[in-house]
A and B are shown apart, each in its own frame.
Chain A
Amino acid sequence: MPLPMLPVPMRIRRRVKETADTFTIELEPPDGTFAFEPGQFNMLYVFGVGEVPISISGDVSRRDVLVHTIRDVGTVTHALGRLKKGDWVGVRGPYGRGWPMKIAKGRDVILAAGGIGLAPLRPAIREVLDNRDDYGRVVVFYGARTPGDLLYPKEVVKWRARLDAKVSVTVDRADRTWHGNVGVITQLVSAARTDASRTVAMVCGPEIMMHYMRIHLAKLGIADEAIYVSMERNMKCAIGRCGHCQYGGDFICKDGPVFTFAEVESRFRIRSL
């Protein structure tokens, strides 16, 4: 059994600039395979700099490549952003409880992402769209600040072209070159048209966005037990030992990062937690 704190070196196969502050790296697993579940994360280690938790944003069926989309917000992510094709990254993982893919089977599914939140949700969206017959009505909502902040725009266009899923994209502000929706993501929710009693909602984005999404999903009649959110805290060990990511009685790294809203409702948006 591999040592849980020992990173496995992986070479960067490809690097893609997504937006002004966000990039994607594709890593080569040393033995050619890496299995994970949608919503799980890895600890990425830049040698000599430090380690950060980053969600896996690739395809579960593509085990030969490990994909991470990263926003440059701190020392380690900045260092990750300076790495090039052929450079090495240390990888520990996958960790955590991911999206409820088994529970969602046979039910209507709402997948809602805000900003960088599309990265952790992308594996779930791909899983649902690739196995479309396994699910009821499928609705994808994606919101970002501006058109230039949208992740994976070519892929999102392909999703929108599908006739078997409703995919809506909105931005907070835009100029005339943008022909899509302008407005907050919550305004899209009323058009979901799912059967609330058999809907599973997966929501990923900043807590404030998930907070408002939950309010609007509740208006549709979707229970807190069927609304799943991905929480983010300062994870260090990623195996529930160090306590850095303690969130009330849970460790985000081990018990999450995905929780039902019912599980976290009493702790949600409490600044000190």
Chain B
Amino acid sequence: MKTHSIAEILSAHEFFSDMKPEHIEFISGCAKVSHFASGKFMILAGEPADNFYLIRSGHTAVEIEIGNQVRTIHSPGPGEFVGWSWILPPARWRYDVRVVEDVSAISFDAECVRKKCEADFEFGYHIYRRILKIVIERLMATRIQMIDMYA
């Protein structure tokens, strides 16, 4: 079975489409393959946001504790990014992300990506522009979720 390099995996993802190959190589240098078993937490609220993830397989649940209850507010799966709190200070996670089904992911070193964004503004612009698109899509989805559409 042919194995793909991280750069090849990233090149095939919509997020990195039309990005310069040297930029993809650049960010690949901050990335590694990670695995998380079902039931484990990829992210814990309050902890430093020093990694973010691109899920390749498996499913997760973004959870928030309300009183004694834990509520799932989103369930990122294959092809989706997990974790935005690393982008801006204080860079601490705001939600828990629990693994619902064994996850294989590309894990990015947030500090490494941040430094590269600051060292190369063109690279940083492309990364932040793409992140903004996803954040806007999440905001739109959250707004629809809030209006109780099926009532």
Contact = CB atoms under 8 A, between A and B. Distances in A.
Contacts of A172: 145, 148-150
Nearest to A181: B75
B33 interface: no
Interface in B89-103: 98, 100-101
B151 A145 contact: yes
A205 B141 CA distance: 17
A175 interface: yes
A205 B150 CA distance: 7
B144 A184 contact: yes
Contacts of B69: 175
A182 B61 contact: yes
B151 A206 contact: yes
Interface residues of B, number: 23
A211 to B, nearest CB: 10
A90 interface: no
B56 to A, nearest CB: 15
B74 interface: yes
Contact of B149 (A114, A174, A180, A181): A114
Interface centre among B61, B63, B69, by most A CB within 10 Å?
A: B61
A102 interface: no
Interface string A199-215: 00000011011001000
Contact of B70 (A115, A117, A145, A176): A176
Contacts of B145: 172-173, 183-184
A182 B75 contact: yes
B148 A145 contact: yes
Contacts of B34: none
11 contacts: A149-B150, A172-B149, A173-B71, A174-B72, A179-B101, A182-B75, A183-B75, A184-B149, A206-B149, A208-B147, A212-B149
A143 interface: yes
A186 interface: yes
Contact of B74 (A116, A149, A180, A183): A183
B149 A178 contact: no
Given A184-B145, A212-B144, A178 B72 contact: yes
A184 B141 contact: yes
A182 B74 contact: yes
Contacts of B61: 176, 182
Interface of B: 59, 61-63, 69-75, 77, 98, 100-101, 141, 144-145, 147-151
A61 interface: no
Contacts of B63: 176
Contacts of B72: 173-176, 178, 182
10 pairs of A and B residues whose beta carbons are closest in the complex: A115-B150, A182-B75, A182-B72, A184-B144, A174-B72, A209-B149, A184-B141, A172-B145, A181-B75, A114-B150
A184 B101 CA distance: 20
A187 interface: yes
Interface centre among A117, A144, A149, A187, by most B CB within 10 Å?
A: A187
Contacts of B74: 182-183
Nearest to B63: A176
B74 to A, nearest CB: 5
B102 to A, nearest CB: 13
Interface in A181-227: 181-184, 186-187, 205-206, 208-209, 212
A148 to B, nearest CB: 12
A258 to B, nearest CB: 19
A143 B62 CA distance: 18
A183 B72 CA distance: 9
A174 B70 CA distance: 9
A224 to B, nearest CB: 20
Contacts of B59: 179
Contacts of B77: 181
A187 B73 contact: no
